[in-house]
Amino acid sequence: DAGVIQSPRHEVTEMGQEVTLRCKPISGHNSLFWYRQTMMRGLELLIYFNNNVPIDDSGMPEDRFSAKMPNASFSTLKIQPSEPRDSAVYFCASSFLQTQYFGPGTRLLVL
């Protein structure tokens, strides 16, 4: 089993650019979560999907952030336009019966 796959692993971009993060959950897992982690704020839940349907997006910081899950094997988190304060590690996790398995994360740096 490949585990949760995220891409890219690292992203450096300039303020104002669009950033797209990708996630492939573990096959058979019916929930998918997007998190953001910084030293100051810890691990923050941004949004989660259950059976491809967004259930709770209250953690999405603002309209610049959007997430989609078009099918059970793929999700994207998009930031447009990006800002320096968006710099963080973004984790995707999938779960089955409440045990979460995390991907390796995407380290985003917005200059």
Partner 1 sequence: RKEVEQDPGPFNVPEGATVAFNCTYSNSASQSFFWYRQDCRKEPKLLMSVYSSGNEDGRFTAQLNRASQYISLLIRDSKLSDSATYLCVVNGGNPLNRDDKIIFGKGTRLHILP
CB of 48 to partner 1, least distance (A): 6
- Residues in contact with partner 1 by CB under 8 A are 30-31, 33, 35, 42-43, 45, 48, 50, 55-56, 91, 95-105
User: Integer distance in angstroms from the first to the last C-alpha of the chain?
Assistant: 36
CB of 37 to partner 1, least distance (A): 9
Shortest Å, Cβ 105 to partner 1: 6
Concatenate the DSSP letters of all residues of 39-85 into one string. TTTEEEEEEEEETTEEEE-TT--STTEEEEEEETTEEEEEESS--GG
Is the omega angle on the peptide bond into residue 81 within 30 degrees of 0, that is, cis?
yes
- In the complex with partner 1, the residue whose CB is nearer, 14 or 56, is 56
Closest to partner 1 by CB, 25 or 110? 25
